[in-house]
């Protein structure tokens, strides 16, 4: 089973939606994107990571099919170059159609891939410096991208805030000008859970797409046994 499917299996709340509904949602998100954020740029490392995930699980010919469906005519994505957000949204939409997997599931799988491969393999030092355990990492997450900005100065990162901290849970506030990426955050949390070998559950408690000020997730983990 590929990473995207694993992410979906772990989040039952999400799986309630049927395929048609999910497809309609991503098209809605894509059209919001087109009308509002047409010129917003994103670093090429993101598209490169999408490519890496697809090729790893489905092979090069499927990636070429996805690029063609998305109308993307780029042979090699350059990590430090800026590409429009539209391109990334179109690639996710096309991957959803070609692989016949809801776009939200693609985004969740991508979140896991981002942590376990893109970040850990490419920026291990940054990841290690951010915490020795899942709760420590999450508490440091609000400052994380301020270090990434040193590598990518034009970064337009999201904002994270942590509230309601206990020894086994916290509320993660995700504040972003980019719509529709909440499933990506769910996948990121599952990726971090795997990275720290700490079972984690993620429940979205507030949803920006449904009128909330921003997305909020309740993240719960199993505390490490006392030594
Ligand atoms: C060293 C590791 C990381 C690097 C190099 C990195 C870099 C980036 C880059 C380049 C973008 C695209 C935005 C842009 O180009 O302006 C991005 C977006 C994002 N990153 Fe990170 N990131 C890292 C780790 C993380 C982690 C650990 C999380 C959360 C657990 C995270 C959450 C996000 C989210 C949710 C977005 C979507 C953008 C948005 O919501 O506006 N990233 N990051």
* CATH assignment of the domain containing 193: 3.90.1520.10
| Number of domains making up the chain | 1
Q: Is residue 49 part of a domain?
A: yes
Q: Is residue 86 part of a domain?
A: yes
Cβ(113)–Cβ(47) below 8 Å:
no
Tens of pLDDT along 80-115? 999 999 999 999 999 999 999 999 999 999 999 999
Q: Is residue 205 part of a domain?
A: yes
Return the percentage of the chain with pLDDT > 90, whole number: 80
Q: Is residue 226 part of a domain?
A: no
Task: Please report how many Cα atoms fall inside a 13 Å half-sphere around the Cα of residue 201, on the Cβ side.
Answer: 9
For ligand 1, atom 29: residue with the closest CA: 188
Q: Is residue 227 part of a domain?
A: no
| Ligand 1 interacting residues, C-beta cut-off 6 A | 42-43, 45-46, 115, 119, 123, 126-127, 141, 144-145, 148, 152, 155-158, 176, 178, 181, 184-185, 188, 192
Q: Is residue 70 part of a domain?
A: yes
Residue 105: other Cβ atoms inside 10 A? 27
Domain limits for position 149: 3-221
Q: Which of 183, 189, 4, 6 is nearest to 106 (CA)?
A: 4
CA 122 to ligand 1: nearest atom: 1
Q: Is residue 184 part of a domain?
A: yes
- Beta-strand pair 82-84/41-43: antiparallel
Mean of the per-residue pLDDT values for the chain?
87
Tens of pLDDT along 34-43? 334 445 799 9
């Amino acid at each position: 089973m590929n990473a995207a499917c694993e992410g979906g299996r772990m989040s039952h709340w999400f799986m309630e939606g049927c395929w048609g509904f999910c497809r309609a949602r991503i098209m809605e998100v894509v059209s919001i994107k087109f009308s509002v954020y047409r010129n917003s740029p994103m670093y090429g490392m993101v598209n490169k990571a999408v490519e890496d995930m697809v090729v790893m699980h489905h092979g090069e010919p499927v990636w070429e099919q996805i690029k063609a469906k998305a109308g993307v005519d780029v042979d090699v994505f350059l990590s430090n170059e800026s590409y429009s957000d539209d391109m990334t949204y179109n690639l996710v939409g096309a991957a959803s159609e070609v692989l016949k997997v809801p776009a939200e599931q693609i985004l969740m799988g991508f979140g896991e891939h981002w942590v376990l491969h893109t970040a850990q393999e490419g920026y291990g030092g940054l990841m290690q410096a951010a915490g020795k355990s899942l709760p420590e990492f999450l508490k440091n997450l609000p400052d994380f991208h301020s270090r990434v900005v040193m590598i990518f100065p034009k970064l337009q990162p999201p904002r994270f805030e942590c509230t309601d901290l206990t020894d086994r849970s916290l509320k993660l506030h995700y504040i972003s000008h980019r719509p529709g990426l909440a499933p990506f955050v769910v996948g990121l949390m599952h990726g971090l859970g795997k990275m720290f070998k700490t079972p984690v559950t993620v429940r979205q408690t507030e949803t920006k797409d449904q009128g909330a000020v921003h997305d909020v997730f309740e993240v719960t983990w199993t505390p490490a046994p006392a030594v």
